[in-house]
Structures are given as structure tokens and as C-alpha cells.
Chains A and B, each alone.
Chain A
Amino acid sequence: MTLTTTGLLLEATGISKTYGAVVALKCASLAVRPGEVHALMGANGAGKSTLVKILTGAVRPDGGTIAVHGRPRTVHSPAEARRSGLVSIYQEPALVPDLDIRSNLRLTETPLEPFRHWLHELGLEDLDLSSIARRVPLASLRIIDLARALAIEPDVLMLDEMTAALPANLTERVLEVIGRQRGGDRSVIFISHRMIEIAAVCDRATVLREGETVGVVDVTEGSEERIVELMLGEGVVDMPTAAERRAAAARASGATARLTARDLSSGTKLSDVSFDLYPGEVLGVVALEGQGQDELFDILAGSQRPSGGELLVDGAPVSFHHPADAIRAGLVYVPADRAEALLMQRSVRENIALPFTARIRRWGLINAGDEHRKVDRAIATLQIDTRAHGEVRRLSGGNQQKVTIARWVAGGVRTMLCFDPTRGIDIRTKNQIYVLLRDLAEAGAAVLFYTSELKEVQLVCDRAIVIFGGRVVAEIGAANADEAALLHAAYNLRSGALMPEQIVAEATAVEAAVVVPADPPAARPTGPEADR
């Protein structure tokens, strides 16, 4: 273990990676000193996970160099990275589900005694090594993953959202164990969306923005502010204001909410989520990854049942046993993953017609003329490029997403649930989708819009709710919903309930500094035409 003059344990420079047209990383760099816990920060999609996967050989970079102990390395597989002393805990457990824990340890050639030792340290003493991984709860799997990694004493241990799926007591043990790694000759790279954990265990933080390293910060008191600034970049200037929105009028006038959630819960992932969605508005949902938004949309779309709370459509309680129930109640779902919604091998026409053929059917036969007209109208409205109409899978991602929206528009939509509909599609199509969602709202539909791109909130939404740890922690009007405000809320830096007081104080100070110049809230007219 000879260190060269740089004294760096791990140095990655100029790492780039593109997936098709999507640039995941461009010129990312990371330098880790021995004995430090190094945070890797960035908003959703900034490229943190991709960088970790490249460092551990799970993904090949398009360019850039990686040096361990000052010597250049190319790692082609996780096994090879492991031999070079680089080990990662991924967001999903890497245990083989059908093998028992002991076999999983043998597979990675993990020594048993150190494993038991770390398991004990991490507070999971009573694990039966002969239990099948499939039957072990997720939180325990994460702990096993970590103990397994610690047991082989890696030079650099990477933890990607390790704590996201852990209950509070286990999180504490994990942070304690990670904290104790400091000062030795090994290092930890720590990715977490929880600012408080970063402050607790990390020495320095590297911040990524849109696939680029934009800064390295020493983590001290008050550095959260600097980190958030870096994550946002200089672009925190006035977005086109959303002041012309008029949905507030509908609410003010006491119209019945199209969709009401009352104390919705789903296991430990979602608790007591309440909100109203009014006709004519686009309600944004903002959350960091894995805060319960997936469960919320699954419940609303009828593919999962809530463990508590109730759902009202037009003021009447409903309970969905199947997505068909939700569709019948007028709630239609546009997922981020097009493959979830489309019949990839079938034509554009069939895909659009599929959800509503049931409604235009007469005496068991599909009314082909009617179907044709409706589908044509939908294709025209959405400007779908139908040159490759034969098979949907040949369309571009953007056009596929337009088909998933078109299928609902064709049938006449009342309530649309969009889960990150613009993920991974080009800017032009994104804009078309924004316009379409606004048009739907203007026409009286209600739209619930989860997005991982914070700037979309001001472009599309009338207001937004922010979910953190399965709870709604903030509701922000579009005028105030700039990226800084949303990000603060998403990291739960503004709510006093879950944070130590001094951090809250700092957070509020930051907010005051950043939020105020964004937009004068007074400039929010309620147009008379909004009354219905």
C-alpha cells in the first residue's frame, strides 16, 4: 500500500458516459483521500449512480481515467473492481434471491468471521445464515450487503443510497460504523439524499450537476447551503412566471375536488398523505427518489391498495381493486417507463385505441369508424410522428410517450396521473408535453404531475406538493416554486418537525436569501374567466 505523491486513494478524472442520446456523465471527476468519508451529491439524474457503477466496473465509461493509489486502473467487472479494493453497495441489494445467505457469501468469497463481526456491529445479530435471501426483509438485506462489503476490507467502499430503505435505528448503526472508518487508511464514498446524514459522517462532498463535477466542499456547519447552491448552479434566475394560472380560482370558489386523498398510507413507504386535486389545475408532486411517490401513484392508478386512508373522486369515496377500476373512475396513468404502458410490438393505432375500445364497442363489435376518427384526432393533437406506425417500439422515446398520453386523450380524459412523463426524452417533445398538459387543464381536466426535473414545476404546474419520507412536507404555489425552494423542501430543510433546530435555522436563512427574489407572490391574479 504505497501512496504516490498525490496521496489520493482514488482519483477519477474526465469520466463520461452517454446512453443513446442521453448524456449521463460528461467530464465528471472525483478525488478521494485515504481515511475520509466522501459524499457524492447531486440532484436526481445528476449522474451519481452512473459514476459509482463506472468506478466498480458494472458500467464501462466512454472516456476518462481512474487511478487507485496513483496507478491507472481499468475495471471491467465488479469482480475485478473488488480485487482492486473497490466495492459498492448498490441501491438494490446484490444478493442472489434464491440462494441462502451462506451461499451468497461463498459466491463473493467473503470470510465468515469478519462478516459476523460486522453484522454484530451493525445490529443484526440474530440472522440465520441458512435463510433464503428472497425471504429476508429488504432492510436486513441492505445490512447484509454492507457487512459483506466491510468483511473483505475494501480500500474504497461506495454506498449508494444505502440508508434510503432502512428504519431509523439501523440507519443510526450504519452511520456510526461508517463514521468509525474515518482516519484509517480506507475510505468511504457516501451517497444520500439526507443532508443530515451527510453532515453527520462526511468530511468532504463532491457535487455533480448534469453529469459534471461542479465543486468539492468541505463538510462543516453551514455547508449545506453551499452544496445546494452548487447542485442548482447559476441558473437560479427568474423562470417564466406561472402567474397567469387560474386554477386557484376554482379552489377559491369552492368547487368539488376531482380527486381527494385523505391520510393515504402504504406500509412504511407512505404515511398520511392528503391533498386535493381540482379540475382545471396541474398539481405538481416533487420528491427525491424513493420517498414514497411510486407507491402514491400506484395506489392512485389502482395497481396497489393503500394500507390506510381513503380516496375520493368527485367527493365520493372509491376503492380500486384493479387499474380498470381507476380508469372507470376517470383516473388514467402515464408512467415514466413507456414499456410499462405500451404494447411495443403493436401499431400506434392499436395502442391508442386499446384503453377505450371497450367504451365504443357495440354489440360486441368494435365500431371501426368511430375508433378511426378518435385515434386520428388524438394523433393530430399530439403531433405524433407516425412514419413508423407499424410497431410502437420503432418510435423514438418522445413519440412513444406521446402515444401513452394520446391513448387517454383520445377517449376524453378527466384526471391524468403523470409520473415523470418527460424522463429521458428530447427537449422539443418535452415542450409539446408541457403544452399538452396545460391544454388539458384549461379544458377542465385535472392533472397530477410527478417530475424529477424541478424546473418543470414552474413551467407546467399551478402548485406543487413536496413528499419526503412518505409524508407531504410542503405545498408551494407555482410562483414560489423555483428550483431552490423545491430542493430545500425536497431535502426537508424547511420543515421543523424532523430536523435538529440549528439546521432548520440555517435552512430558513438560506431560503430567505434565495427564495425572496424569485417572484413577487402578490402578482397572482385570479382571472374572472376561471370561474366555471
Chain B
Amino acid sequence: MSAATAPVDSGRVALAGLLGSSARRNAWILGLLGFLALLLVFTKLIQPNYGVPGIQGLAISVLPLALAAVAQAIVVISGGIDLSIGSMMALISVVSATLMAGQSEQFDVAVVVGVLVLGLLLGAVNGGLAVVTRVPDIVVTLAMSFVWAGCALLVADSPGGGAAQWLKDLVTGSIGNEWIPKPAVVLVAVVALIWIPVRRSRLGLSIYGVGSDRLAAFRSGVSVGRTRILAYALMGLFAALAGLSLTASTGIGTPVPGPYTLMSVAAIVLGGVSLAGGRGGVFGPIVAVMILQIIRTDMTFLDVDTNLATVLQGLILIGVVMIGSIVQIRRARG
């Protein structure tokens, strides 16, 4: 089992620094990691032959949702929320699959770069609309979720297209040790390369500042509107990565949004991000996504009815968050 959590550990080392010295925030994540370990042990107990294929399956199914959760976490930390992540992923997925179908590998590299830039733009449009029109974020992004979903269907009205082989290879199999699945490495690398530098920069501070207290941030010299738009643009970038990972793992583009929007909200809440903004990080949500996914897998192993499993997943979410906040309140008092 220890080897199974190896990618998690390396992630923690990388991310522990960015989470700063806040013992409380780390305590929540440590609790989540403990819960994740328990779940893995439990999985091994009910399914003794759970091993490398299981971990690989977990990693590949976690990747899109984990990237979506990171995207959502960034926006929520900045004091907003984005309900169009799922639609954005669908749009990016079909755009990339359509463009890559039957093209050369070199062209496909350009496509990948292009759709990432497109993601940044889609996010910036969401953020820009929320800032300029002053319509609440939740309304703007809900509306935009229809816009992006419609655009996705305009690009391709049925699943299709293709993906470069190198892109597909990027998220299948393992690297070095067979216990280290490639999707997990990709996830850690992407987050470490994009989020950690941002978090350490003035922009990162501003994102937390604006989400925590807009007035105080404004008075500290932060440009509130610009920070919010940049947070949405970052969200768009991660949503694009999530969309690309869909294309990469399935080999085609699907124009219909998956359940990613609401799952990303669930994951960040479980991951310790305050919906009021300003608190939390991106590592907690990633662990939360793994937890949600393993619970799902375990239900299958236990032969629980799929619909009942969905009900139980919801109840477990409420239970965990409730226990977490009770513990935090106790700690704050003590």
C-alpha cells in the first residue's frame, strides 16, 4: 500500500511548501490523506486482487476531474465560482479532437498549445463578463455554461475526431515503477509547473487577498478586477487541460458535458476550500477527487446498485464535510 500512495507523497512534498506554514490547512489535508489511506486499505480488503491495474484505472479516471477541481479551486479562492467548467471541457475536447484528427504530430503540438490558449481566453471571457457587468459570478458562469456547451455542439454534433498518439501515450501506462501511473505524474507536473509559481507570485497573493476581503485587498493596492479576471483565465487554462485529458484518454472528442462542474464543486468543498473565498489550496481538492473516485470504485466492488451508489456518495460528502467543520470549530475554541 505504501507504494500505492507514492505519487500522493511526492505531491505532498511539492505542495507542502506552497501551502505555507498554516498548520490548520495542513491538518485538514492530512486528515483527507488519512481517509484516502483507509479507503485504499478497505479496497484491498474487499477486493484482494486490487493492484497495479486498479491504481492505473484510478489515476486515469481521476485526471480530468482533478484538473477540473484545481480550476474550480482557483476561482473559488478568488471569491468567485464557475459553473461552466464542464461545458468548457467539452468544448476544448471537441475542438482538439476535431483539429487533431488525421494530422501530423507536429501539427498536433500546435493544436494542444492552441487549445490551452483558447482555455485561457474562455476563462478570461467568463471573468471579464462577471467583472464588467457586475452580474453575480454564479449567474454569468451558469449562462456561459450554455454558451460553451452550444459552441461544442456547433463544432461537432456527435463524438468523433482523434488524438495524437503521443498525447494518448502521455496518460496511459506507468513511468519507471509500474506503481507510478503516468496520469498521476502528468497531474503533479502540470500543477507544479503552473500553480506553484502563480501561488508564490504577487498574483497568487492577490487571488487569496481578493477572495478573502475585497476591500482590504483594494486598500492594500491590489487591482481587484484584474485579479479576478486572471483567476478566471487560470481556471480556463486548467479546464482546457482537463478537456485535453478527456480527449487523450478516450481518443475522441465528446461534445456533451460530463458531470464535471458539480463534481468539481463537491471536490473543492471536501478538499477544504471555503466557498466564501480566500481559504484553501489546490492539493486538498485533488485528494478529495481521489477519495470520491475510490468510494465509487468500492461501491462497484461491493455490488451496490449504481443509483444507490450516487445517493451514498452524496451522503458521504455531507458527512465528511460536517465532521471536518465540527473538528475545526472544536479546534478554534480549544
Contact = CB atoms under 8 A, between A and B. Distances in A.
Interface of A: 58, 77-79, 82, 90, 92-100, 103-104, 106-109, 130, 132
Interface in B56-103: none
B218 interface: yes
Contact of B216 (A77, A79, A93): A93
B218 A107 contact: no
Interface stretch (B33-41, B200-208, B247-255, B303-311): B200-208
A325 B87 CA distance: 50
A95 B208 CA distance: 12
Contacts of A96: 208-209, 212-213, 216-217, 220, 278
Contacts of A132: 22
A78 B20 contact: no
Nearest to A80: B221
B134 to A, nearest CB: 17
B230 to A, nearest CB: 15
Contact of B205 (A78, A97, A106): A106
Contacts of A95: 216, 220
Contact of A97 (B20, B223, B278): B278
A442 B27 CA distance: 61
B211 A58 contact: no
Sort chain B's interface into a size bin. 20 to 34
B219 A107 contact: no
Given A97-B213, A100-B20, A108 B220 contact: yes
B222 interface: yes
A103 B208 contact: yes
A107 B202 contact: yes
Contacts of A77: 218, 221, 223
Contacts of B205: 99, 103, 106-107
A99 B218 CA distance: 14
A508 to B, nearest CB: 42
Given A98-B278, A100-B22, A107-B202, A90 B212 contact: no
Contacts of A103: 20, 205, 208
A315 B278 CA distance: 49
17 contacts: A77-B221, A93-B216, A94-B216, A95-B220, A96-B209, A96-B212, A97-B278, A98-B208, A98-B212, A99-B212, A99-B278, A104-B220, A106-B202, A107-B222, A108-B220, A130-B21, A132-B22
Contacts of B215: 92, 94
Question: What is the interface of chain B mostly: helix, strand, loop, or mixed?
Answer: helix
B279 interface: yes
A24 to B, nearest CB: 18
A43 to B, nearest CB: 25
Among B21, B208, B220, B223, the most chain A Cβ lie within 10 Å of the Cβ of B220
B30 to A, nearest CB: 18
Given A78-B221, A82-B221, A108-B220, A98 B202 contact: no
A518 B221 CA distance: 50
Interface string B173-211: 000000000000000000000000000001001101101
B240 to A, nearest CB: 28
Interface in B213-255: 213, 215-223
Interface in B1-57: 20-22
Nearest to B77: A98
Given A100-B22, A132-B22, A107 B212 contact: no
Given A78-B221, A96-B208, A96-B213, 14 more contacts: A77-B218, A94-B215, A94-B219, A94-B220, A95-B220, A98-B212, A99-B208, A100-B22, A106-B202, A106-B205, A107-B205, A107-B220, A107-B221, A130-B21
Contacts of B278: 96-99
A108 B221 CA distance: 6
A96 B223 CA distance: 14
A79 B208 contact: no
A108 B205 CA distance: 10
A83 to B, nearest CB: 9
B223 A79 contact: yes
B212 A78 contact: no
A103 B211 CA distance: 14
Given A98-B208, A99-B205, A130-B21, A79 B213 contact: no
B218 A78 contact: yes
B235 to A, nearest CB: 19
Among B219, B220, B223, the most chain A Cβ lie within 10 Å of the Cβ of B219
Contacts of A99: 205, 208-209, 212, 278
Nearest to B280: A98
Contacts of B218: 58, 77-78
